[in-house]
Each structure stands twice: as structure tokens, then as C-alpha cells.
Amino acid sequence: MDKNTRICIIGGGPAGLSAGMYLEKKGYFNYTILERLDRVGGKCWSPTYKGRRYEMGAIMGVPSYYAVHDVEEFCGITHDGPKLNRNYKNAKGDVIEPFEPKKNILKIPRLLKMKRQIKKFGELLETKYQGYDLNGHRGVAEGRYDGYAVTPGRERVQGINPNLKDLALPFKEFCAKNGVDLVQDVWIGPYTSFGYGYFDEIPAAYVLKYLDFQTTMNFVKVNLWTWKNGTQYIWEQLNDHLKNPARLNSNIEKVERKDGKVYVTVNGAVEEYDKIIVTAPLYIPNKRTDGQKGMVEYFDARDDEKKLFSRIDYERYDVQAFLTKPENHPEISYYVFDNMVPEKLGHLMVYYRRWRDEIDQVITTYALRKHRNSAEIPYETCRQMVQDDLKTMHNPAEEVINEWSVYYFPHVFSADYADGWYDKVEAMQGKYDTFYAGEVMSFGDMDETAEYSRELVERFF
């Protein structure tokens, strides 16, 4: 492609900003990033309380976040944040240690069985499901893999593996099929509590693209990265280092693609481009109070785009930031496994203490209020449920200082995944001078979205 190609990137989150960085690395400098908000970072949002930043979105990374590390190197920054740790409570608010045999004598047989199954699972993923951990979903539904390895070198990997079709199954069924049901006890912590849905509804591909064996073991060992100034700082720094920083407060009213050009009406003015990369939501199945829209609503969307993108759903994931009285402040972050099941929809799943040296700090809570087989819990109802749960946990909130109900983890369900949804979308890349990136094309964590942008640029530019 001509290096002078005029490229419009919609979205100033990890996917859009990374696309700009990787384009620059390949010699493309004639790009524009349009961001509708007054900040960059997307779901990496780190507001400030009394001089210290707290997290409303992404919290951490792991050593296998190679795309994030690309950004660190590009900007000259590093993961310099507080060391994380956590403990566990049951639904009654009692501290428990679910993985410690000495504290769970009666559960020793189950814990030993779980340990054997985890070992077996790791072996299955490396052999039976070879290629499972490549970024993106190209070819999976067809029983093949095509992408870049999860290594620092990210070498191109391709092959045929019919077993990969199993990844379309809900993760719960996938585990049962392979006789490793108990691995869900470990995978659920960094999966469901982080807002990515329930194992009986979400295809195994999503679970394992994010929580490949290497990444999960890093979570288990608490081998985690954080950033002193928050995850948003990563993307603020990247934005500052780009030749063309994101244009904030960009209200895109219309996108028309005709005669080999792309016409974008933004803040009342029409701008002309040659290509467009969409990292913002492709489809949102309901009207959101924050005004966020899917691309099919403001693009001259074609029938194939409407048909495919209308299959996308997303999670209703709510975050509250609160303060406590000193005597009610949690001494550590807590997971509440009892509440990570569909039957406890809307309840508190995890609450997070970021700094160890200060009691006067913000604590954040996380809850899901949507399962595909049940009615969506109203936001205010969920909000109150979480407040009530904090009282049960013996850490009642004194004041809520921030809250966020975010468009989260766009995905398709098993039938559409098995039917080749991803291969159909991938076949459209570049059609209508449009490229599709962002969360839904890989997975909804910051590294997977950034890595997909890297691969998109590598493949098409």
C-alpha cells in the first residue's frame, strides 16, 4: 500500500492508538485518530483521588503482554506500579482459602484432582489444541490456525487442527468434553470476575485466547504488572509519543464510502480519506444512555456488515469506586467466588484495593448484570445489590465517588462462532476500504486488542 495513503482510525483506546504506532513503524504517517471522548485509553480509565490514580477499568497485565511491552518500549516507560495480591471471601463475608489444603481438609481429594486436571489441561492445550493461543480467531471454526505466536518474536504460525472446532463450545462444555471440569475453579477468577461472562454461555475460544495456559499461571502465581499512574497512563504516553495524537471530542456523524474514498463527517465538517480502520464498537444492540453507538448506525453500512455485526452481544459490567471509614477499610483485594455464577447475577464478584500503604484511598467493585438466558438486571438494582454485599463483606461503603456502566467485551455466541462468523468478517477486511479491529476481533483485554492491531497492520499495510 502507498505510504501516503490517508488513513482514518476510529477510536482512541488501546486498539486505535496501537494501530497508529504500528502504522508509524511501517512508515505510514498520514493517519488520523478520532476519539469521541475527552480522553484516550478506552476501558483503561484511571481517575485521580488525592494525587493517586485508581482503576475504573483495566487493572493489570502479565509478562506475556507483548504488545503492551511494545508500547512501553516505544514510549520509554515501564510497569512500575504497586505489587498486587488478593484473598478470598465466601458470600457470607468470611475469609476463606479455597486453594490451601491445610485449611480445607475435607476438600483435599477435590484439590488433588484439580491439580491433576490442570496438568492434563496444559498438556491438552499444547497437543490436542495446538494453535489455540494465537491472537484472533481466523480459521478456528474451520479447524485451522493462522496467526502469530504468543512469544516476543511473534513468528507467523499456520496449520491444520480439526480439534480447534471444539473451541466454539461454551467453556463449561469444552472442559466436560476433555474431562477437566475442575480447571474452571482456577480460570473463573481472572475471567468471570473481570466481566467476561459465564462459562456456560461464552465460547471456549474467548476464554483461552485471553487465559492461555501461560497467562493463567501468571495470574495464579500473582506474577502481574501494574503501572503507578494507572493503565490509562500507558495509552496517554503512547498518544503523546505518536506523530499524530488522537483528536479528542470528535463526534462522528456520518461515514460514506464511495468511489474508492471514505468521507467522514466529524463535528460538522467532511474529511476525505482513502482507508478507514474501525476500532470502536461495530454494533450495540440497545440504546445506551452515554450515547455510544455501533458503526452500523453512523456508517453507510452494507447488508453484509449489518447481518454479521447484528450477531454481536456484549456484557453489562458495572464498576463503583467508593470510600470507607478507616475501621471498615479492606486490608487487601477480595474475590467472592460464590457470586461468580449466573444464579448470583448482579452481586459483588471482586473488590480491589490498589495501594497497601494508605487507608484513605478508593476501593473499586465489579459486578455483572447480564446472562444470555436471563433478564438483564437494571443498573440501579445492581448498584444497590453491590452496596448491600459490601456490608455483608464487613467493608461497607461510606461514599461512592465514581461509577461506570461500560460497553464491555463484545462477542458472539457458540452457534455463530461455529458457523464461521470470524472467517466471514476476516474475508471482508479491506472491502469498502474498511478494516475492522478492536475488542470483538480478538478479545476484550488491552493486550489482545493492541496485538490484533499489530497483526492487522502487518497483514494489510
Looking at 197, 220, 243, which one is the last position of a domain?
Answer: 220
User: Residue 287's pLDDT is what?
Assistant: 86
Task: Note whether 325 and 351 are same-domain residues.
Answer: yes
Residue 91 belongs to some domain of the structure:
no
Cα separations in angstroms, 183 against 119, 175, 338: 9, 8, 16
Crossing angle of helices 184-191 and 108-126, in 10° steps, is: 80
- Cβ-in-10-Å burial (0-12, 13-18, 19+) of 331 comes to exposed
Q: Is the confidence at residue 150, as pLDDT, over 90?
A: no
Residues 211-234: tens digit of each pLDDT: 999 999 999 999 999 999 999 999
Mean pLDDT of 314-337: 96
Count how many domains the chain has: 3
Residue of 130, 191, 139, 234 lying closest to 368 (CA atoms): 191
Where residue 405 sits, what CATH number does that domain have?
Answer: 3.30.70.1990
Mean pLDDT of 408-421: 98
Residue of 205, 203, 191 lying closest to 138 (CA atoms): 205
Where residue 232 sits, what CATH number does that domain have?
Answer: 3.50.50.60
Mean pLDDT of 23-27: 97
Task: Note whether 276 and 421 are same-domain residues.
Answer: yes
Q: List alpha helices for 92-222, DSSP H.
A: 108-126, 171-177, 184-191, 204-210, 213-220
> Cα(44)–Cα(170) distance, rounded to whole angstroms?
27
User: Residue 121's pLDDT is what?
Assistant: 98
Residue 188 belongs to some domain of the structure:
yes
Task: Note whether 303 and 319 are same-domain residues.
Answer: no
Q: Is the confidence at residue 100, as pLDDT, over 90?
A: no
Grid cell 455510544 is found at 292
Q: Is the confidence at residue 290, as pLDDT, over 90?
A: no
Where residue 161 sits, what CATH number does that domain have?
Answer: 1.10.405.20
The three three-digit cell numbers of residue 416, written as one number: 455463530
Residues 234-259: tens digit of each pLDDT: 999 999 999 999 999 999 999 999 99
The three three-digit cell numbers of residue 315, written as one number: 456484557
Mean pLDDT of 123-133: 97
Which residues share a beta bridge with 411?
313
Domain span at 115: 98-220
> Cα(119)–Cα(390) distance, rounded to whole angstroms?
36
Q: Is the confidence at residue 101, as pLDDT, over 90?
A: no
The three three-digit cell numbers of residue 449, written as one number: 486488542
Looking at 220, 236, 267, which one is the last position of a domain?
Answer: 220
Residue of 441, 447, 437 lying closest to 412 (CA atoms): 441
3 φ, ψ (degrees, to nearest 5): -65, -15
Alpha carbon 249 to its chain's center: 23
The three three-digit cell numbers of residue 401, written as one number: 465517588
Residue of 92, 161, 169, 176 lying closest to 392 (CA atoms): 92
β-pairing, 399-411 vs 313-323, is antiparallel
Residues 437-451: tens digit of each pLDDT: 999 999 999 999 999
